[in-house]
C-alpha cells in the first residue's frame, strides 16, 4: 500500500563539479562577494533581493530568493571556514515563517586552477532535516546545477569588453579634434591637465564618486590620425589594468565611432568597479556629452593634400601673387589680385571671376606667418558685389 511518508534525507550527499573559463581569483570573488553572488544565486528566473553574505568565519548568512511569480524563499546559515581563494565551507538551510531551519546542509566548495581555467567542486551533505524539508532538498541538485550555469554565464560576460557605438553628424576631422585636443576634451570628457595624441604620452585625471576620489592613470598606446586612438586605463592604489580603444570610420559627412574597453575583469570585483558602472559612464560620455559638444562646437573644414614638390616651392606658390593667380579658385574661374601685403596684419584683396561673368570679391588679413611651414589668415567675401 502506498504511503505519504516523506523520505529522510539526513546524511545524503551531493557532489557537483564544474569547470569555468575564468581564473580562480575571479571565480572566488563571484562566490564570496554579495554584489556578484546575488546575480547568479538560485534557479533560472529567480532573483536575490536580499543577499547578506560577508564571507568571514562565524558570520551569519541571510539570503532571500524570489521566484518569478513573486514568492520569497528565505535562507539562513553561517560561514564555517574561509580560505581564499581555494576553499569555502558554509552551513545553509531554508527557513520557515518563524525563521527556523527546515533543514541544514554543509557545503564544502574547493577551487582548483589549471591553465587559466577553474574547476569548482561542491560537496554538500545534509546534516539536519525536519518533516517539511523534503520538497526543498529534493530539488537541491537541480537548483544548484542551474545556479552554477548562471555563474558560468556571469563569468563569461565579465571578460567581455564594454562596447559603445554611435554615429555623429560631424566630419571625422572634427570628431578627432574633440578626442585629442585637451581644451576640447575638458568640455565633454574630464578635467585633464594636458593631452597629446602621441604614443607613450601619459595623462591623469581624478573623479569623485560617492565620497571617494579615484585617480586615473593613462598612457597612449596607439595613434592613427582620424582613425584610431588607444590608451591604457588604470587607478592609482588599485590593482588591475585595462585598455580603451576608439575607432573612427568616415560615413559621408558623418562619423561612426566605436569605443571598446577591455580588461575590466582585472579590477577589484566590488560595487565601485562594477561592469554596469563602466557601461553607464561610457554611454553618458559618448552618447550624450560628446554628442552635445559636437553639436555646439563651431564647424571647421579640414582639407589635407600631399604635393609632389619640395616645401619651399609649395610655399612660394601659395605666397607670391604671380603664382597664386594661376591656381586660386574653382575650375573655370580666373583671379585678379588687387593687393597682397604678405606680412602679419597685412591685407590680401582679390576678385574671382566666374565663367558667367559674375565677380566674387574676397578680403583676407594675415594673422600668423612662419616661413616656410605655416600661415594663418582670415577669409571673407566682399559684401557689395558678392551674390546673395
Closest CA to 203 of 183, 188, 219, 185: 219
**CA-closest candidate to residue 179, choices 250, 235, 259:** 259
Q: Is the pLDDT of residue 341 over 50?
A: yes
Question: For residues 193 and 223, what is the distance between their CA atoms, to the nearest angstrom?
Answer: 20
Count other Cβ atoms within 10 Å, centred on residue 207: 13
> Do 78 and 104 form a contact (C-beta atoms < 8 A)?
no
Residue 303 lies in a domain: no
Residue 387 pLDDT more than 70?
Answer: no
The verdict on 50 and 151 lying in the same domain is: yes
- pLDDT of residue 23 exceeding 50: yes
The residue range of the domain holding 68 is 13-158
Statement to judge: residues 153 and 48 lie in one domain: yes
Round the average pLDDT of the chain to a whole number and report it.
Answer: 89
Q: Above 80 in pLDDT, residue 386?
A: no
**Which domain-ending residue is among 237, 271, 296?**
296
Are 292 and 321 in a shared domain? no
Q: Nearest 10 degrees: CA dihedral of 135, 76, 269, 206?
A: 130
Distance CA 322, CA 338 (A): 12
pLDDT band at 116 (very low <50, low <70, confident <90, very high): confident
Residues 375, 318 share a domain: yes
Residue tagged 528565505 (cell numbers):
74
State residue 381's pLDDT score.
63
Q: What is the mean pLDDT of residues 3-26?
A: 81
Band (388; pLDDT cuts 50, 70, 90): very low
Q: Three-class SS string for 121-141? A: EEEEEEEEECCCCHHHHCCHH
Does some domain include residue 306? no
In this structure, the answer to whether residues 234 and 347 fall within a common structural domain is no
Which pLDDT score is estimated for 301? 63
One domain, residues 207 and 266? yes
**Does 388 reside within a domain?**
no
Same-domain status, 166 and 152: no
pLDDT digits (tens, 9 = 90+) for 155-176: 887 777 899 999 999 999 999 9
* Continuous segment of H or E residues that includes residue 219: strand 212-224
Backbone angles phi, psi at 165, to 5 degrees: -125, 140
377 with 347, same domain: the answer is yes
- Average of per-residue pLDDT across 4-30: 84
- For 167-202, the pLDDT digits (tens) are 999 999 999 999 999 999 999 999 998 999 999 999
pLDDT range class, residue 144, cuts 50, 70, 90? very high
DSSP string, 238-268: S---EEEEEEEEEETTEEEEEEEEE-GGGS-
- Give the tens place of pLDDT for each residue, 66-91: 999 999 999 999 999 999 999 999 99
In a domain, 2, yes or no: no
| Cα distance between residue 345 and residue 16, in whole Å | 83
Do 82 and 216 share a domain, yes or no? no
Q: Which of 158, 173, 189 is the endpoint of a domain?
A: 158
In this prediction, residue 383 carries a pLDDT of: 46
CA-CA distance, 124 to 52, in Å (whole number)?
21
Question: What confidence category does residue 356 fall into, taking pLDDT thresholds of 50, 70 and 90?
Answer: confident
End-to-end CA distance of the chain: 104
Peptide bond between residue 372 and the one before it cis (omega within 30 degrees of 0)? yes
User: Does any domain span residue 377?
Assistant: yes
Which residue from 10, 28, 30 is spatially nearest to 93, judged by alpha carbons?
A: 10
Query: 104 and 93 in contact (C-beta within 8 Å)?
Result: yes
158, 173, 203 - which closes a domain: 158
Q: Is 363 buried (19+), middle (13-18) or exposed (0-12) by CB count in 10 A?
A: middle
Helix, strand, coil percentages, rounded to 5, for the chain: 25, 40, 35
Residue 305 lies in a domain: no
Give how many domains the chain has, as a whole number.
3
Specify if 57 maps to a domain: yes
Check whether residue 286 and residue 322 sit in a common domain. Answer: no
pTM exceeds cut of 0.75: no
3 state SS of 269: coil
Above 70 in pLDDT, residue 125?
A: yes
Q: Is residue 41 part of a domain?
A: yes
Q: What is the CATH number of the domain that holds 317?
A: 3.30.530.20
> Pick from 232, 294, 14: which is nearest to 136 by CA?
14
The DSSP code sequence of 136-198 is HHTTHHHHHHHHHHHHHHHHHHHTSPEEEEEEESS-HHHHHHHHH-HHHHHHHS---S----S
Same domain, yes or no, for 212 and 128?
A: no
**19, 66: one domain:** yes
**Residue among 269, 247, 220, 226 nearest 164 (CA):** 247
Which pLDDT score, from 0 to 100, does residue 9 have? 81
153 phi/psi in degrees, rounded to 5: -65, -40
Amino acid at each position: 500500500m502506498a504511503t505519504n511518508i516523506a523520505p529522510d534525507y539526513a546524511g545524503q550527499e551531493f557532489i557537483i563539479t564544474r569547470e569555468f573559463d575564468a581564473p580562480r581569483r575571479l571565480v572566488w570573488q563571484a562566490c564570496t562577494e554579495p554584489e556578484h553572488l546575488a546575480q547568479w544565486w538560485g534557479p533560472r528566473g529567480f532573483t536575490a533581493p536580499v543577499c547578506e553574505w560577508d564571507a568571514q568565519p562565524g558570520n551569519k548568512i541571510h539570503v532571500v530568493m524570489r521566484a518569478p511569480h513573486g514568492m520569497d524563499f528565505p535562507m539562513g546559515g553561517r560561514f564555517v571556514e574561509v580560505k581564499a581563494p581555494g576553499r569555502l565551507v558554509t552551513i545553509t538551510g531554508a527557513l520557515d515563517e518563524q525563521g527556523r531551519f527546515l533543514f541544514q546542509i554543509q557545503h564544502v566548495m574547493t577551487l582548483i586552477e589549471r591553465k587559466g581555467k577553474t574547476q569548482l567542486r561542491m560537496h554538500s551533505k545534509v546534516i539536519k532535516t525536519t518533516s517539511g524539508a523534503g520538497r526543498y532538498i529534493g530539488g537541491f541538485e537541480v537548483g544548484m546545477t542551474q545556479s552554477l550555469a548562471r555563474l558560468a554565464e556571469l563569468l563569461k560576460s565579465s571578460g567581455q569588453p564594454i562596447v559603445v557605438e554611435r554615429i555623429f553628424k560631424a566630419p571625422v576631422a572634427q570628431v578627432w579634434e574633440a578626442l585629442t585636443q585637451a581644451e576640447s576634451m575638458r568640455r565633454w570628457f574630464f578635467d585633464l591637465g594636458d593631452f597629446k595624441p602621441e604614443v607613450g604620452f601619459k595623462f591623469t585625471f581624478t573623479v569623485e564618486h560617492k565620497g571617494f576620489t579615484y585617480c586615473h592613470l593613462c598612457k597612449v598606446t596607439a595613434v592613427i590620425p582620424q582613425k584610431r586612438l588607444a590608451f591604457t586605463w588604470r587607478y592609482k592604489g588599485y590593482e588591475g589594468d585595462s585598455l580603451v580603444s576608439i575607432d573612427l570610420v568616415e560615413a559621408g559627412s558623418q562619423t561612426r565611432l566605436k569605443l571598446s574597453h577591455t580588461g575590466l575583469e582585472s579590477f577589484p570585483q566590488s560595487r565601485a568597479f562594477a561592469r554596469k558602472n563602466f557601461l553607464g559612464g561610457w554611454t553618458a560620455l559618448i552618447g550624450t556629452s560628446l554628442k552635445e559638444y559636437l553639436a555646439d562646437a563651431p564647424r571647421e573644414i579640414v582639407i589635407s593634400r600631399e604635393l609632389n614638390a619640395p616645401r619651399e616651392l609649395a610655399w612660394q606658390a601659395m605666397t607670391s601673387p604671380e603664382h597664386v593667380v594661376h591656381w586660386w579658385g574653382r575650375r573655370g574661374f580666373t583671379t585678379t589680385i588687387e593687393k597682397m601685403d604678405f606680412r602679419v596684419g597685412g591685407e590680401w584683396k582679390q576678385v574671382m571671376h566666374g565663367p558667367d561673368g559674375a565677380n566674387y570679391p574676397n578680403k583676407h588679413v594675415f594673422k600668423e606667418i612662419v616661413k616656410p611651414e605655416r600661415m594663418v589668415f582670415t577669409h571673407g567675401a566682399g559684401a557689395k558685389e558678392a551674390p546673395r
